[in-house]
Amino acid sequence: MKNEVDMEKWLERVENSCCEVYEIEGVGSNEPHWIWPGAVTNGYPVSTDPRTKRKALMRPLIHEVRFGKRTEGRIVMLCGLRLCINPWHMRVVKHGRKAQEKGRG
C-alpha cells in the first residue's frame, strides 16, 4: 500500500497551521482551541482529504483520525467555536438527543 497517507502526520500539520487560543471558559479542558485559518464553507472548516484529494469537512475528518470511524451521531463542539477543530473539544451526539444534552451541565 504505497499510497497510504499518514493521517497522524497530516493531523500534526493541521494542528501546526492552526492558531492556538487558550481562552476557554467552561470547556473544562486545558487544551487550546485550534482556530482553523483555512477555507470555510457555510461557516464550517473545510480542507482537502489527503486520501481522496476531495474537499472534506475538517471536523469529521479530524475526529476520525483521532478517535476512529464514527458509526452514528454527529459532532458538536463543546467550546461552541465554529472555527475550532481541536478533536478534544468535539463530542459525538446521537441524533435526536440534542435537547437532552443541552439541559445537562
What mask of x and - would describe binding to Zn ion in positions 20 to 39, judged by CB under 5 A? -------------x------
- Looking at the Cβ atoms of 56 and 85, the one nearer to Zn ion is 85
Residue 83 in grid coordinates? 472555527
Of 14, 58, 61, 79, the one binding Zn ion (CB under 5 A) is: 79
Q: Which of 10, 32, 42, 25 is nearest to 87 (CA)?
A: 32
Residue 59 in grid coordinates? 471536523
Q: Which of 19, 46, 12 is nearest to 33 (CA)?
A: 19
Q: Examine residue 84 and tell whether it contacts Zn ion (CB under 5 A).
A: yes
**CB 58 within 8 Å of CB 47:** yes
Of 36, 56, 63, 89, the one binding Zn ion (CB under 5 A) is: 89
Binding site for Zn ion (CB under 5 A): 33, 79, 81, 84, 86, 89
